[in-house]
Structure 1
Amino acid sequence: MKIVVASKNPVKLKAARLGFETYFDNVEVEGVEVDSGVSDQPKSDAETLAGAENRVNNAKQNYADAAFWIGIEGGIEYGVSGIEAFAWIVIKAAENYGRARTTSFQLPPQVAEYIKEGYELGEANDIVFNQVNSKQKSGAVGLLTNGKVSRTVLYKQAVELALIPFLNHKLY
């Protein structure tokens, strides 16, 4: 079964593969570059969801030879406790779609300050944690949990949940 992920980020590709392998055999994942149509650092729930929707729609339109298409968009949102990070996952097939949001977590004040200065979350993490390209590795959640929860693990569960409509055709 071919799955097109609207990204070449290895974390997103692995999360998609692992999430699908929870329910399906013979999963083949291909990553493609498409435009999200939102800012490089989405700063609201709505903008992040729009980015995931745009990614999946662009992938489906430009790479038609798949059983499923997946858009994954990480974002942040200003809340009462500071800035929180999360992601939206949107999965489409020929006639159906599913979507799920990851759990969110609070970012440390030092990372939040860099974001307020205009840095993307990944860049801010790299500065604060003295890393290189952390967004394609463990991400903020991995850095903040000492590797106990990785970005892949965070996204995998949301992929599994976004597949619910495909597992329950009669209800959706």
Structure 2
Amino acid sequence: MVRVVVGSKNPTKIEGARQAFEQYFDDVEIVGVEVSTSAPPQPFDAETVRGAIERAKKAYSPDFDFSVGIEAGLFRSEHTLTGYLDFQVAAVYDGERCTIGFGPGFEYPKLVVEEVLKGKEVGEVMEKVSGIKNLGKKVGAVHYLSKGAISRTDLSRISVTMALIPFINREMYL
């Protein structure tokens, strides 16, 4: 059995991590724990990566084979309509090595980015736009914006899968 702890109680992150690990391991146990990080509530750029790493490392204990930290944040990109893309970043930690993976990026509407740059969190703005309470703990803003094609669980699964690559190919990542 592979035991995994996720540094979050968010069901979309826990389920995404479960799906990622079950692609490679037959018997997986997933536990979510609440952890705090130094990343702000709405992280940008490197703060997002740092938040994922901190979540993974703070959640880890020797009782688990792996810990996972997942953080979503806005990354500056000059080739976008708004200047930003949202990426979900995952960190996987085994007590010694920490690896990083990104999910697919997407752009929020200009009105969302403008409100976020004024200090609001994406989740708060997207709840108002979508009319869906606790959107980030359900299907996520990406589900609303992609008209149901992609969920936040999907983004979590993909980012954790990308972070697992060095662990499932250990011989190439010595």
Question: Could you tell me the TM-score, scaled by structure 2's length?
Answer: 0.92
Amino acid at match of 1:167: I
Query: SS at 1:99's partner residue?
Result: strand
User: Which piece of structure 1 moves more, 15-24 or 106-115?
Assistant: 106-115
| Separation (CA, whole Å) in 1 of partners of 2:99 and 2:25 | 16
Q: Percent identity?
A: 38
AA aligned opposite 2:20: G
Partner of 2:17: 16
State the partner residue of 2:139.
138
Moved more, 108-117 or 65-74: 108-117
Which residue does the alignment assign to 2:70? 72
Contiguous gaps of at least 5 residues in structure 1:
none
CA distance in 1, matches of 2:75, 2:171: 35
Other structure's SS at 1:43 match: coil
Shift of 1:164: 1.0
CA RMSD after TM alignment: 1.2
1:96·1:166 contact (CA, 8 Å) conserved in 2? Answer: no
For the 8 Å contact 1:3–1:27, the answer to whether it is kept is yes
> Is 108-117 or 1-10 further displaced after alignment?
108-117
What residue in structure 2 maps to residue 49 of structure 1? Answer: 49
1:38-88 deviations in whole A, cap 9, x for unaligned? 1011022x110000111111112xx33101000101101233221321111
* Pairwise CA distance, 1:103: 1.6
- Counterpart residue identity of residue 157, structure 1: I
Task: State the match for 1:124 in structure 2.
Answer: 125
Q: What is the TM-score with the length of structure 1 in the denominator?
A: 0.93
Say if 2:143 and 2:150, in contact at 8 Å, map to a contact too: yes
Equivalent positions of 1:141-152 (< 5 A) are 141-152=142-153
Q: Which moved more, 1:86-95 or 1:49-58?
A: 86-95
Aligned length: 169
Instruction: Name the amino acid aligned to 2:93.
Output: K
**Separation of aligned partners in 1, 2:96 and 2:145:** 39
1:113 positional shift:
2.2
Matches within 5 A, 1:94-109: 94-109=95-110
User: Could you tell me whether the CA contact under 8 Å between 1:126 and 1:134 is conserved in 2?
Assistant: yes
| Bigger shift: residues 121-130 or 8-17 | 121-130
Q: Could you tell me how far apart the structure 2 residues matched to 1:150 and 1:113 are?
A: 23
Question: Structure 1 stretches (4+) deviating beyond 6 angstroms?
Answer: none
Structure 1 residues 108-155: Cα deviation after superposition (integer angstroms, max 9, x where no partner):
012112212211111110011111010111112111011110011112
